[in-house]
Structure 1
Amino acid sequence: MGLAIKVFNQFHHPNVHLYNTLIRAHAQNSQPFSAFSVFCDMQNSGLFPDNFTYPFLLKSFSGQSWLKEVQMIHTHVEKFGLCSDIFVPNALIDSYCKCGYSGVNAARKLFATMGKRDIVSWNSMIGGLVKGGELTEARRLFDEMPERDSVSWNTMLDVYVKAGDINAAFEFFERIPERNVVSWSTMVLGFCKAGDMDMARILFDNMPVKNLVPWTILISGYAEKGLAKEAVGLYNQMEEVGLAPDEGAIVSILAACAGSGLLGLGKRVHASIRRTRNKFSILVGNALVDMYAKCGSLEKAFSIFNDMEKRDVVSWNAMLQGLAMHGCGERALHLFTRMIEKGVSPDKVTLVAVLCACTHAGLTEKGLNYFYTMERDYGVVPQVEHYGCMIDLLGRGGRLKEAFDLVRAMSMEPNAIIWGTLLGACRMHNDVELAEEVLDRLVKLEPSDPGNFSMLSNIYAAARDWDNVASARLKMKSMGVEKPSGASSIEVENEVHEFTVFDDSHRESDKIYQMINGLGDHLKQEGYMPKTCY
């Protein structure tokens, strides 16, 4: 940019074309105020903007926070009479639709008053409605279109996928006159989201042309579902056909690994990065730290974190969250101190990690201090997540009355997670009276959640109140709800094994139960007495 500005300044009387070129350059470099400054300079020099000026300028102001600026540019367009050039109102519709709900309404009004529309006008308006969640209105507009192109069809296909109606999406997909890689990829994504990985794979295998996008979607889908062998196998195939994952693909796959605990695939991706890149961006570094930390390889995560040439607040948050979730509270707080010393400003995610670290380390007073000073010291206003951490912290420490008082003092309405956390604390400390009061609030928010009644039943059992145990169980039965069995999983040699209570479906179940029984006998010999009240 510096060189472009230097060249521009050498012209004593730059014309509109040169001004437009500089405005576009600022827009492409995400410098909206610089672009607007050039726009003002152009007018001050006596030149009038043309039909290229405004679309270039509007590209600078794309996002929810720029609605007033887009409205101001719209006023300028009307003033200079450029709305008759379809190129300009199309750019306005596109920018308005990126400004959230109010912007979509403004775009709709502009679209309705347009004397002439082309396919770009229709596609931009439909796309804006889809982003705004107005799916029915988007479908109505699609049906009214005088002509459609691949963008029109693919936008509507995305509507059905976003709505989770995979059957309607597939029917619509079969109607598309010319399916391209976007159409196929959208359907693969839709079936992945629906959990039908077999159908996703059939579509993927039948794609006439594949780019990196469908490979990434399916690999990430397998990883999210814990299908390690399938994910690793497909990743190997992708490399065999000569496709190297780009930054977006790497981040998507690593995020899926982090969410499902697929350390094996995460390591495979990391090995590919080391093999093909001398350096990686902050984005990739953050994804690696997050993946290793969430998969329990804290030392590996720390190694990558410390080796990163540049870090942002997301880097620190990923490492802090990893330490907190694995019970390394003191170590997390030490890292937080280091973060502040480095001059990095914490955000709301940082403070959630810090409060969780205090919870897992049993540092109640320290957690309270962070909570009550976070707005003063770091400018972070407590959100519902921070209150949730504090309820958990106080509840684990047996300070149930303080926890209940904090819930009632919340600046926002407590949600089901807040009340559920407090109910869990009541169970931990056998506080029947408070548990009944908490459940009354919780049932209003989640009337059909069987876990709440199951927990209350356990609290009654701990107090040996068998009548109320029976009452709670009968309540669950009368509601027709049943608490789902808890499940746990473990990855062994690129295969994820999942287990539920009394599960005998695993091929090694005989050996597994033999080992469990052996461990039980050993515990008895060591004098362990189980808490059967639960």
Structure 2
Amino acid sequence: MQISVLFQAPSRVSNPTLFEQKLSDLHKCTNLNQLKQIQALIYRANLHEDAFVAPKLIASFSLCRQIALAVQVFDQIQEPNVQLYNTLIRAHIQNSQPSQALAAFFEMRNRGVWPDNFTYPFVLKACSGQDSLRLVQMIHTHVEKYGFGSDIFVPNSLIDSYSKCGSMGIQAARKLFMVMVERDLVSWNSMVGGLVKAGELREARQLFDEMPERDTVSWNTILGGYVKAAEMDSAFELFQKMPERNVVSWSTMVSGYCKVGDMAMARMLFDKMSTKNLVAWTIIISGYAEKGLENDAISLYNKMEEAGLKIDDAPIISILAACAESGLLGLGNRVQSSMERNRYKCSTHVSNALVDMYAKCGRFNRALSVFNGMEKRDLVSWNAIIQGSAMHGHEEETLQLFSRMKQEGFVPDKVTFVGVLCACTHAGFVEEGIHYFQTMERDYGIVPQIEHYGCMIDLFARDGCLTEAFRLVHTMPLEPNAIIWGSQNPSGASSIELDGIQKWKSNSIGSTLENTAEKALAAALPSSLCAAMNFPRKVKKGILWSHSGASALDGIRMTLFSQQRAMVKDSPL
């Protein structure tokens, strides 16, 4: 809610009561310019430390995504109370700053300010993921120690937080749920939702059936569980039993049928929806796009525009991602032309999606044009253009983009190096590839993953260095993982190298690799070479090496241009 008319500053303000009337909706203001004008009036009246005004100012700056200004308001309070701390903690949560929210909580405790029943639900929102389990347990101990366990909002928040902490968190949530003296609908919904997130669908359904009362959230939660598990028969059966369905219920079913590829059923349900919001339109359009049904997708996109719906970032990114996945350039062009016609201001995220879509749809020049026209780029922007450049065979340009990215202060991540190593692979830059691979962990602390090893094996194989490729597989630290690689045929390999690998296989060291490294190399090398080396081409499992591979390349680098390699190059074969 915006404050449409600014009040005039009174010439004299004797007490805060006058401002309580004027500022009653201050915490709802989302217009930053208006907010700053109001703040100036507050300072003139010397009410910036008022217990009523300060929390409203913090809340309003938070809504305007100006957390630094919110913190400034807080810091000017000499003795902040629990309400002010609660407002600051909530502001950090709203602005995706969980660490700062926790820091504010611990500062509050260190300053001797006692939390209340509102504090813990706010703080618990900062705890998610398996790494937060101990933190949630600590907060749980605080709750029990200070007697807030009887306030049902607090244990409900604990159940929700525990449910986000993996299997051990779910166990703790179950235990807490079972000992709760009082449970309300939120308690049951939180526990059912936690079980669904953990993949415990059968137990979630059992608890759902035991619920003394249910609302639409209850039904939609278990419905979403069936859809997530691709159990569409059970989902449809439940959908039919629902006493009341809302747009979430219908959209969930449409999404489920799209994911399992039943577009006829998805379209039938979509057409039956009495109310279609932007989410529903996005789901069905993206569903058609992911299946490569461009005409249907474009037709629905046109109908969505005719219905008067104005798209925002989320549906644009979703549809463009589906276009990129299926190579639907026509729909991607349609989306961008719509954006240009409506003078839609592209955010960095939307521009990233456009770069990725054009690159994957074979229009690298357009991807580069969008990239160069971006006002602000992030690491995703650079990764998209680097991967696109490598994908289109612009190897030297890819490495130039990588250098330019570092010059502009961006630190590469594992995705960046996949693009860089792919460029080296396609260009046959063996020495450069080894260099970049080694710098991953040495300079950036990035542990090589299956994709990076795949690039290096492909690089050696394409260059005819099968001995080095096999040695890399052998020296990798092995951890099994169900990933199958594929790579293009290398330019060729000599009988000398093939013979060397056969001998390696037959010795005592090579014989230990039959069920591990051999399978990985078989998955990485092309079928023609696998046949020449008597490797089984069809393997069900690859290998994941999840820690350092730099040491594995040290020996290879030293012998890369060894006498054996020279013999290979001199061979008439």
- TM norm structure 1: 0.79
Shift of 1:277: 4.1
8 Å Cα contact 1:419/1:442 also seen in 2: no
1:105 is aligned to: 171
Shift of 1:356: 0.5
Q: Counterparts of 1:414 and 1:404 in 2: how far apart (Å)?
A: 17
Q: Counterparts of 2:494 and 2:357 in 1: how far apart (Å)?
A: 35
2:276 is aligned to: 210
SS at match of 1:133: coil
CA-to-aligned-CA distance 1:96-146 (integer Å, 9 cap, x gap)? 222233322222222222122111111111212222222222222222222
Where does the alignment leave 5 or more consecutive residues of structure 1 unmatched? Answer: 477-534
Q: Counterparts of 1:428 and 1:459 in 2: how far apart (Å)?
A: 13
CA-to-aligned-CA distance 1:297-323 (integer Å, 9 cap, x gap)? 111111111111111111100001111
Provide the aligned length of Structure 1 versus Structure 2: 464
8 Å Cα contact 2:227/2:256 also seen in 1: yes
Shift of 1:7: 4.2
2:135 is aligned to: 69
Taking a change above 3 Å as real, the CA distance of residues 73 and 441 of structure 1, as seen in their structure-2 partners, is: same
Taking a change above 3 Å as real, the CA distance of residues 138 and 277 of structure 1, as seen in their structure-2 partners, is: farther
Moved more, 141-150 or 428-437: 428-437
Pick one of 372, 388, 404 that aligns with 2:454.
388
Q: Counterparts of 1:168 and 1:454 in 2: how far apart (Å)?
A: 43
CA-to-aligned-CA distance 1:329-365 (integer Å, 9 cap, x gap)? 1111110011111111000010111101111112122
Shift of 1:156: 1.0
Shift of 1:39: 3.0
Task: Answer yes or no: is 1:337 the counterpart of 2:400.
Answer: no
Task: Answer yes or no: is 1:53 the counterpart of 2:119.
Answer: yes
Task: Answer yes or no: is 1:264 the counterpart of 2:340.
Answer: no
Q: What aligned pairs does 1:317-466 form with structure 2 within 5 A after superposition?
A: 317-413=383-479, 421=487, 441=515, 455=527, 459=531
CA-to-aligned-CA distance 1:415-464 (integer Å, 9 cap, x gap)? 56567659x66997788776997996489979xx9x9999469946xx9x
Q: Counterparts of 2:271 and 2:514 in 1: how far apart (Å)?
A: 52
Moved more, 55-64 or 265-274: 55-64
2:376 is aligned to: 310
8 Å Cα contact 1:329/1:361 also seen in 2: yes
1:248 is aligned to: 314
Taking a change above 3 Å as real, the CA distance of residues 415 and 105 of structure 1, as seen in their structure-2 partners, is: closer
CA-to-aligned-CA distance 1:169-223 (integer Å, 9 cap, x gap)? 2112111111111111111111111111111111100011111111101111111
SS at match of 2:125: helix
Shift of 1:380: 1.1
Taking a change above 3 Å as real, the CA distance of residues 355 and 44 of structure 1, as seen in their structure-2 partners, is: closer
Q: Counterparts of 2:290 and 2:454 in 1: how far apart (Å)?
A: 26
1:170 is aligned to: 236
Where does the alignment leave 5 or more consecutive residues of structure 2 unmatched? Answer: 1-66, 539-573
Q: What aligned pairs does 1:112-151 form with structure 2 within 5 A after superposition?
A: 112-151=178-217
Pick one of 83, 94, 100 that aligns with 1:17.
83
Taking a change above 3 Å as real, the CA distance of residues 263 and 435 of structure 1, as seen in their structure-2 partners, is: farther
Taking a change above 3 Å as real, the CA distance of residues 51 and 315 of structure 1, as seen in their structure-2 partners, is: same
8 Å Cα contact 1:282/1:308 also seen in 2: yes
2:266 is aligned to: 200
Task: Answer yes or no: is 1:223 the counterpart of 2:276.
Answer: no
Q: Counterparts of 1:139 and 1:214 in 2: how far apart (Å)?
A: 26
8 Å Cα contact 1:426/1:435 also seen in 2: no
**Identity over aligned residues, as a percent?**
62
- TM norm structure 2: 0.74
Q: Counterparts of 1:27 and 1:254 in 2: how far apart (Å)?
A: 29
Q: Counterparts of 1:358 and 1:197 in 2: how far apart (Å)?
A: 41
